[in-house]
Amino acid sequence: MRSYIRHPSDIPIEYQADERNTGISQEYLHDISAAGLSFFSARSLAPGSLITITISCVQPGFMAQAQVVWCHRDGEGFVTGVTFIEPGDRYRARMVEQVCHIEHYRAKVLAN
């Protein structure tokens, strides 16, 4: 049984590799699970590398340290799976998930 919920691919996230001079990349959420999340990325990230994830489209914004678990090619880019370093961040990410669903529902209702 699937332990995550698929999200619309328009939920923006940002990540910054915990390496020097990598800059911030803006990407899109793929899904959230009990242990972490996955996102679409223009570049490949090495499993084991540490990144900082930011989701600022929700209030309050979400920021957490994560470790790359896997990275698979998907068309022109990659889907990258990460696990959160701090267990409390897993719970916070689930709350972000709920807020994102509510926001998409609200936008859909207002569009009709």
Q: What's 18-74 look like in SS3?
A: CCCCCCEEEEEEEEECCCEEEEEECCCCCCCCEEEEEECCCCCCEEEEEEEEEEEEE
Residue 3 domain-assigned (yes or no): no
Which residues share a beta bridge with 5? 32
Report helix, strand or coil for 87: helix
Residue 5 domain-assigned (yes or no): no
Residue 80 domain-assigned (yes or no): yes
Which CATH number goes with the domain that contains 27?
2.40.10.220
Residue 29 domain-assigned (yes or no): yes
Assess whether pLDDT exceeds 60 at residue 94.
yes
* Residue 78 pLDDT level (bands cut at 50, 70, 90): very high
Residue 103 domain-assigned (yes or no): yes
105 or 73: which carries more pLDDT confidence? 73
> Which of 7-11, 13-17, 36-40, 97-101 is predicted least confidently?
7-11
Assess whether pLDDT exceeds 50 at residue 62.
yes
| Amino acid in the structure at residue 89 | D
Residue 58 domain-assigned (yes or no): yes
Residue 32 sits in which domain range? Answer: 10-111
Which residues share a beta bridge with 68? 82
Q: Specify the DSSP element, H or E, that contains 97.
A: helix 87-111
d(CA 61, CA 89): 12
| Amino acid in the structure at residue 15 | Y
Provide the number of structural domains found in the chain. Answer: 1
Residue 65 domain-assigned (yes or no): yes
d(CA 18, CA 109): 40
Residue 4 domain-assigned (yes or no): no
